[in-house]
């Protein structure tokens, strides 16, 4: 687990990086960026704070960032403003001589932490015993490199919220059943949208080691869902949608597919972060939206489209606390260290894990 690794991989940030003015941070980052020139690429996920993402050379959703990382052949340093699993994927997809840096190693993902290798190996043994060789594993990219490697070793692949449907279609051409981890909601929402009824799904509770939500007979199961979730997206509720429908039926509700089944069913549309951005960009002036995803992105969209009414679906803030750990002090610290010739907070995946995790990621990238 990432949190167990933190003390060994990240030294505390020196005090000189704290309590500077906005201008000092901005100038410091811009200067370090200039000095590093083509040796540096900064990548940023859509959930990053405004004051950080403005320094990114590339922004995107998880799939776009993985594709962009794969294309970076020149940069010696890739500073990844996102969460740990994204930086791991970038390390796996880039060359050995390139260093991927996460400005704050505590920027993990609570969902990725919900699946560890030992639990997966135990689940796999149960699955093989009860269902035989009928199952292919598919992991959402929001998982550790070790989980991706397991999946790669067992003939499976990764997916993101953009390509989950295409990946599941591919997986069903290989095996009768799919083990989908770690996000039960993305798995359920995607499979249901493909026409698979809930009776053909079951949830594996990895903590108790038991099946749950068995709505149909075991021989009919087609999608085995890991009991993981996103703590940000599960805060959006059916009540919030019903309230909006009553207040203003013209407001369109758009959510990320990490939201629960009920929420996705009740919404007007759902998709990845880039999909949500595109839908709003394409909407006519005067459109009204309630958006069920991370608050930084929703606030940025509201700011960028003053001619539309854009609000967060929930009345309380929904920040991804780990994404928000990447801030200007940490960005400046990592960049100035690079200028001084020191690589800090490097995310480095071992050779064997890289080989098999890359197998899984490459399969995904070739599927689409």
Binding-site ranges for ligand 13P (CB under 6 A): 46, 61-62, 142, 160-161, 230, 256, 258, 272-273
Residue 182, preceding peptide bond in cis (omega within 30° of 0): yes
For residue 201, give both structure tokens: 């799904």
**What own/partner pairs with CB < 8 Å and gap ≥ 24 does 27-31 have?**
28/332, 28/335, 28/336, 29/55, 29/328, 29/331, 29/332, 29/335, 30/55
Q: Which position among 127, 167, 232, 301 is part of the footprint of ligand SF4 (CB under 6 A)?
A: 232
173's CB contacts (< 8 A; 6+ apart) are none
Which of 234, 280, 285 lies closest to 253 in space, CA to CA? Answer: 280
Give dist(CA 346, CA 132) in Å, integer. Answer: 40
Q: Which is nearer to ligand 13P, 186 or 349 (CB)?
A: 186
42 binds ligand SF4 (CB under 6 A): no
224 binds, among ligand 13P, ligand SF4, none (CB under 5 to 8 A by kind): none
CB of 92 within 8 A of CB of 361? yes
Is 318 known as a binding-site position?
no
CB of 159 to ligand 13P, least distance (A): 10
Cα 348 from Cα 332, distance rounded (Å)? 21
134 binds, among ligand SF4, ligand 13P, none (CB under 5 to 8 A by kind): none
9 marked ligand binding residue = no
| Residues numbered 244-283 forming contacts with ligand SF4, rule: CB under 6 A | 258
62 makes contact, choosing from ligand SF4, ligand 13P, none, with CB < 5 to 8 Å by partner type, with ligand 13P
Binding of residue 115 to ligand SF4 (CB under 6 A): no
CB of 351 to ligand SF4, least distance (A): 26
* Segment interacting with ligand SF4 (CB under 6 A) among 173-181, 230-238, 260-268, 350-358: 230-238
Among candidates 52, 37, 57, 225, which has minimal Cα distance to 127? Answer: 225
Q: Which residues bind ligand SF4 (CB under 6 A)?
A: 83, 109-111, 142, 230-232, 258, 294, 320, 322-323
Residues making up the binding site for iminosuccinate: 45, 62, 140-142, 161, 256-258, 273
């Amino acid at each position: 687990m990432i949190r167990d690794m933190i003390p060994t991989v990240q030294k505390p940030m020196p005090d000189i990086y704290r309590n500077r003015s906005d201008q000092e941070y901005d100038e410091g980052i811009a200067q370090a960026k200039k000095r590093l020139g083509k040796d540096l690429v900064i990548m940023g996920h859509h959930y990053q704070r405004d004051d950080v993402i403005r320094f990114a050379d590339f922004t995107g959703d998880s799939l776009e960032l993985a594709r962009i990382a794969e294309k970076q052949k020149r940069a010696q340093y890739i500073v990844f403003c996102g969460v740990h699993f994204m930086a791991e994927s970038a390390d796996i997809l880039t060359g050995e001589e390139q260093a991927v840096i996460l400005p704050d190693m505590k920027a993990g993902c609570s969902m990725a932490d919900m699946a560890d290798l030992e639990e997966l190996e135990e689940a796999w043994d149960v699955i093989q015993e009860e269902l035989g060789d009928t199952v292919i594993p598919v992991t959402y990219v929001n998982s550790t490199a070790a989980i991706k490697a397991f999946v790669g070793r067992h003939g499976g692949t990764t997916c993101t919220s953009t390509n989950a449907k295409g990946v599941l279609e591919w997986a069903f051409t290989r095996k009768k059943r799919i083990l989908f981890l770690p996000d039960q909601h993305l798995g359920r929402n995607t499979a249901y949208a493909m026409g698979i009824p809930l009776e053909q799904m079951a949830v594996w509770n990895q903590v108790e080691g038991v099946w749950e939500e068995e709505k149909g007979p075991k021989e009919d199961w087609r999608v085995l869902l890991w009991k993981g979730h996103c703590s940000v997206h599960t805060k959006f509720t059916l009540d919030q949608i019903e309230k909006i429908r009553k207040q203003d039926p013209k407001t369109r509700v758009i959510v990320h597919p990490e939201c629960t089944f009920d929420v996705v069913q009740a919404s007007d549309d759902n998709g990845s972060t880039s999909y949500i951005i595109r839908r709003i960009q394409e909407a006519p002036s005067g459109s009204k939206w309630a958006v069920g995803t991370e608050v930084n992105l929703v606030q940025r969209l509201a700011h960028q489209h003053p001619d539309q009414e854009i609000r967060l679906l929930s009345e309380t803030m929904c920040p991804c606390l780990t994404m928000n750990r990447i801030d200007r002090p940490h960005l400046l610290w990592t960049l100035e260290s690079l200028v001084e010739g020191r690589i800090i907070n490097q995310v480095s995946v071992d050779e064997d894990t890289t080989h098999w995790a890359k197998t899984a990621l490459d399969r995904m990238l070739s599927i689409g």
